[in-house]
């Protein structure tokens, strides 16, 4: 699936997004992206072991992807490459009708990790932000 197809399928239609590296700190880019996604109808699942058991933007935070009630459509990475292997392990353990798209947010990109996710059968988007992609490709202004 191409990046454009992924954007049309999962970003232009509200979907479920697991946000790995979620933070309650409003000055972090992840907070703004999560707020935007929630405001535009996405079902957001914060994931961060540091804040597990608390709420971030009114959503319960989980320690691991395996704790989510559903397999999300997108797993947005807001963590550095050193955390990607654990994410891949969690993704491999998840069982669902299809595999989520792995979205490497700016600053979370890594060539070796992208290859590992791809080799494990996951679609990978990199060098873009979900919020920017939605604004650019899906907003009513973008459709004119």
With 90 as the cut, is the pLDDT of residue 23 above it?
yes
Q: Give the pLDDT score at 103.
A: 97
Give residue-wise pLDDT tens across range 4-17: 999 999 999 989 99
Give residue-wise pLDDT tens across range 67-109: 999 999 999 999 999 999 999 999 999 987 889 999 999 999 9
Question: What is the pLDDT averaged over residues 44-64?
Answer: 97
With 60 as the cut, is the pLDDT of residue 42 above it?
yes
Place of tokens 């707020």: 35
Q: Give the pLDDT score at 99.
A: 94
Q: Give the pLDDT score at 120.
A: 95
Give residue-wise pLDDT tens across range 110-141: 999 999 999 999 999 998 999 999 999 997 54
| Structural domains of the chain sorted by starting position, each given as residue range(s) with its CATH number in brackets | 3-143 (3.40.50.720)
Confidence of residue 143 (pLDDT cuts 50, 70, 90): low
Kindly give, in sequence order, each residue whose CB lies less than 8 Å from that of residue 117, ignoring residues fewer than 6 positions away: 84, 88, 91, 102, 124
Instruction: Give buried/exposed letters for 96-119 (b at 16+ CB in 10 A, else e).
Output: eeebbbbbbbeebbbeebbebbee
> Cα 79–77–8 angle (5° rounding)?
160
DSSP assignments along 20-71, one per residue: ET--S-TTSHHHHHHHHHHHTT-EEEEE-GGGTTSEETTEE-BSSGGGSSS-
């Amino acid at each position: 699936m191409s990046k454009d197809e992924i954007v049309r399928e999962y970003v232009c239609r509200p979907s479920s997004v697991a946000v790995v590296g979620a933070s309650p700190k409003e000055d972090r880019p992840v907070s703004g992206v999560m707020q935007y996604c929630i405001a535009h109808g996405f079902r957001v699942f914060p994931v961060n072991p540091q804040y597990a058991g608390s709420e971030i933007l009114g959503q319960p935070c989980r320690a691991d992807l395996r704790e989510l009630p559903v397999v999300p459509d997108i797993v947005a990475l807001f963590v550095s490459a050193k955390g990607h292997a654990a994410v891949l392990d969690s993704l491999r353990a998840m069982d669902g009708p299809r595999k989520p798209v792995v979205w490497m947010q700016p600053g979370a990109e890594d060539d070796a990790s992208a290859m590992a996710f791809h080799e494990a059968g996951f679609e990978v988007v990199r060098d873009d932000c979900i919020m920017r992609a939605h604004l650019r490709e899906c907003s009513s202004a973008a459709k004119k």
